[in-house]
């Protein structure tokens, strides 16, 4: 549990780096080799389905709060809070999945030094931005 919470914390702290790497991968999809393409397109339907259901349950919990006397004349506040919190949860889930993909690409780049692809560039980008977190991503077990 500590590892997941720490991963979520580091995902929030490094969101600019993760966003830059995601944009770099999107712009350079033609340079991906087979292993990197397999990592980026692997099946994550279960994880995404669970996160969407959790976001909908967060939103419905806030929707039920509007029945309280506190929100008697302010019925839009629970809707807005529910929408914002569910969107934040989905964004955090997206960052977490992207961070795991970056970690897998870094591990793949460490294994295959002579294999062409963008893994080496991603490794250097992440090492330049956050060296401490790079060491943790490199040693991460899946």
* Cβ atoms within 10 Å of 138's Cβ, excluding its own: 15
The structural domains of the chain, with segments of one domain joined by +, span 43-96, 97-141
HEC per residue, 5-57: HHHHHHHHHCHHHHHHHHHHHHHCHHHCCHHHHHHHCCCCHHHHHHHHHHHHH
Predicted model pTM: 0.84
Q: How confident is the model at residue 2 (pLDDT cuts 50, 70, 90)?
A: low
In angstroms, the CA 85 to CA 32 distance is: 35
Average pLDDT over residues 77-93: 91
Q: Rg (Cα) of the chain, in Å, rounded?
A: 19
Average pLDDT over residues 52-78: 85
Average pLDDT over residues 15-38: 89
Average pLDDT over residues 84-108: 91
**Percentage with pLDDT > 90 across the chain:** 23
39 closest CA partner among 88, 103, 122: 103
Average pLDDT over residues 116-138: 84
Average pLDDT over residues 86-115: 89
Tokens 């839009």 label which residue? Answer: 76
Tokens 């350079």 label which residue? Answer: 28
Please check the confidence at residue 108 and state whether its pLDDT lies above 50. yes
Question: 32 and 118 in contact (C-beta within 8 Å)?
Answer: yes
Q: What is the per-residue pLDDT for 6?
A: 85
Q: How confident is the model at residue 1 (pLDDT cuts 50, 70, 90)?
A: very low
Q: What is the per-residue pLDDT for 4?
A: 82
């Amino acid at each position: 549990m500590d590892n997941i919470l720490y991963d979520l914390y580091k995902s929030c702290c490094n969101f600019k780096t993760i966003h830059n790497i995601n944009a770099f991968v999107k712009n350079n999809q033609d340079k991906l080799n087979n292993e990197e393409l397999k990592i980026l397109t692997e099946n994550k339907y279960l994880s995404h389905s669970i996160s969407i259901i959790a976001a909908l349950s967060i939103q419905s919990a806030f929707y039920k709060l509007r029945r309280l006397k506190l929100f008697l004349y302010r019925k839009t506040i629970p809707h807005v809070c529910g929408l914002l919190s569910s969107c934040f949860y989905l964004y955090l889930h997206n960052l977490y999945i992207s961070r795991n993909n970056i970690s897998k690409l870094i591990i793949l780049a460490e294994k295959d030094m002579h294999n062409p692809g963008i893994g080496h560039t991603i490794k250097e980008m992440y090492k330049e931005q956050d060296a401490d977190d790079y060491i943790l991503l490199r040693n991460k077990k899946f």
